[in-house]
Amino acid sequence: MLTLSQIKGVGDATIKKLQELDIKSVFELFSFLPSKYIDLQEPRSIIESEAGALVLLEGRVERISALSRRGKRTFTVSFSDNLINNRKLYFSATFYNMPFLHDTFTVGDKYRLFGRLSKDEDRFNIINPQVEKIDRISKLKDIYTVYPLKGIIGQNAFKNILQNALTQIVQTRYEGRLAEVNKNLTDLFCRLHNPKTINDAELARDELASVDLAIVLSMYRKLQDCNQYSREVFYKLQNFRIEDYSCALPYTPTPSQKGAFEDILNDIKSSKNMSRIISGDVGSGKTAAAFFAMALCALSGKQCALMVPTEILARQHYIKFDELAKKFGITCALLTSSISDANRKTVLKRLQSGEIQCVIGTQSLISRDVSYKCLTLAVIDEQHKFGVNERKLLESKGAVDILSLTATPIPRSMALTFYNDINISYIKKRDEAKTNIHTCIVQSVAEGVEKIMDACKKGGQAFVVCPSIVDAEGYEILSIESFIREYGRFFDGFDVKVLHGKLSEQEKTDTMNDFAAGRIQVLIATTVVEVGIDTRASDILIIGADRFGLASLHQLRGRVGRDGSPANCYVYSYTSSDKALNRLELFCEHNDGQYLAESDFAMRGAGDFIGTRQSGSSVTPIFGLQMTSEILASAKIYADNHLKNLSIDELSALTRRSKSRVDAFLKEIGKVTLNS
């Protein structure tokens, strides 16, 4: 393998400069991609050029000044430009510290110049441009690449190093199972550093992003295969039918709910342990699928645990499931940190003996003193609120089958690529639940406050969501702190409370309980209220909506109108940019979470879903290139066609020094799919 020291013209001093750019290998040299491409195939007239821009000009030398004898040894060359209608236009080039160029210019000869244009009064000037005689052009043609070198090394010096390395590497004969991929990467690097057209460079970037994702996708699948343990726990299913469960529900399940029931049943029957995610909007009926899995498990003589992030949600689920469980003779219990010591001892004893078949609770379910007789199924609600450790603790207590619920819809294009759609069940929202919330943009916070006050005066409840808890220097946004300072007086006479992540668990639980019970009229909060709680709230004001992804906005909107009655969602944006307003208008027009997830993915990348945000978009882990749905689709094809037979070690070798970023990426993907 070629090293930096083996590249022609690279010595110790140059290696030190490259290391300052975090380039420590030839692979990293090739991975240091241009930040900009400039088309030098067609020079522009000076009349078409703008001051401050990098321009390519052609001109005839009209006059050459004398070379100054002191200081920076300056000289100026005056040019005429007659590219448009043979009209003579003039510009000049000033050269500092380049006395060796003075005698290369001849009056009457034509030259091509490339540099940044400036304007002094009525005259255009270029300082220290690159210059070549028209009849001897070698560099100022085709596509010019610009690298983010931070002044550490010159553009031309860096390009010479890069071209020498490319010349040496293309002569390499690749062998072994990685030969095809390495040759493909080399071809892409050549196209990226020496593109024939800007379009070719863009296509090569997308192809490299696809290869990047394909490598990581293949690693993910290999890890998945390693984690797909053969089933050791078997269920007695002969006495349990989907039809019986459906009839026991207080409503007729939708086709997508029945589809989820079938997916769960097939998982339990399969030879592999279940690892499924149920994705669906607020109000779509995900809990019905969770309860189906729990009933199936209990009626097969096993135990299951449903873990949720808050006590109020645990109580809601317990009340609903207990009513359903009684129809099947299933025993269930509630286990949270707030139950009395006597009740806790009783529940723990009955869990250990197997008398309790289903238990619903918070993280109390994984406390050290909790043991189960035959726990086999763990259901995790709002799974993005829990980490890998919580799941591992449930597994350590016996759970081999994992079912997870999320109301943050996963873009189908991403799901199809990474998970082959095999462990995700989508539940669609009922048609009647899609129309009860009216969403609109307000022009000021004051307008939004006025609207929610009107609702409260009529006996309603409302949320106010702020982007942060306290003010942050340099950000002109309303935090909870500043909102109360500026608008708190408007709520005099109303019961108002604050809810955010820095409160204790008991404070958060008490506040949410009070709000759910109607004892609070206005709840001023951060996005901590994204977690599903049943309330009678009818209005919500989201401040700084431009700072949230569509998926998060949709989650927040789901806090109101949960009983099906008319509700309102008001959003306020700090920016009036077309991009931000287009996103918010899309949010106002659509109440389908899956559609919004796909739209957000198309507009912003996958940041909201896999947590690798960079300026609002997701980037690939190895080369840091933007990820789009099209790139994901081509990555899947490349992985299937070229990487399927490679081992995890061989795939890891392709990630080079990007291993830590790849590991972080895989961890985030694991959080989405619960297969970390």
pLDDT of residue 426: 78
Q: What is the C-alpha to C-alpha distance for residues 408 and 597, in angstroms, rounded to an integer?
A: 8
pLDDT of residue 448: 94
Burial of 495 (0-12, 13-18, 19+ CB in 10 A): middle
Question: 65 with 75: CB under 8 angstroms?
Answer: yes
Q: pLDDT at residue 130 above 80?
A: yes
Q: pLDDT at residue 473 above 80?
A: no
pLDDT of residue 412: 56
Q: pLDDT at residue 674 above 50?
A: no
pLDDT of residue 613: 36
| Percent of the chain scoring above 90 in pLDDT | 42
Q: Where are the beta strands (DSSP E) in 196-302?
A: 275-280
pLDDT of residue 612: 36
Tens of pLDDT, residues 94-115: 999 999 999 999 999 999 999 9
Query: Which residue bears the tokens 């008991």?
Result: 506
- The token duo for 652 is 């890891």
Mean pLDDT of all residues belonging to the chain: 84
Q: How does residue 422 score in pLDDT terms, banded at 50, 70 and 90? A: very low
Q: pLDDT at residue 288 above 90?
A: yes
Task: Specify the pairing of strand 567-572 against strand 437-441.
Answer: parallel
Cα-based angle 376, 382, 384 (whole degrees, multiple of 5)? 100
Task: Specify the pairing of strand 375-380 against strand 424-427.
Answer: unpaired
Would you put residue 381 in left (φ > 0), alpha (ψ -120 to 50) or beta?
A: beta
Q: Across residues 592-621, what is the average pLDDT?
A: 59
Q: Across residues 593-608, what is the average pLDDT?
A: 66
Q: Across residues 257-269, what is the average pLDDT?
A: 92
The DSSP 8-state label assigned to residue 626 in this structure reads B
Q: Across residues 213-238, what is the average pLDDT?
A: 78
Tens of pLDDT, residues 545-560: 988 878 778 888 888 8
- The token duo for 133 is 């005689």
Q: Which of 554, 532, 676, 669 is nearest to 609 (CA)?
A: 669
Tens of pLDDT, residues 60-95: 999 999 999 887 889 999 999 876 666 778 999 999
pLDDT of residue 632: 80
Residue bearing the bigger pLDDT, 421 or 79 = 79
- Of the candidate ranges 152-166, 235-249, 475-489, 590-604, the one whose mean pLDDT is the lowest: 590-604
- Of the candidate ranges 173-187, 213-227, 281-295, 566-580, the one whose mean pLDDT is the lowest: 213-227
Q: pLDDT at residue 673 above 50?
A: no
pLDDT of residue 147: 93
Residue bearing the bigger pLDDT, 2 or 410 = 2
- The token duo for 524 is 């001023």
Q: Which of 590, 529, 546, 541 is nearest to 570 (CA)?
A: 541
The count of residues in the chain is 676
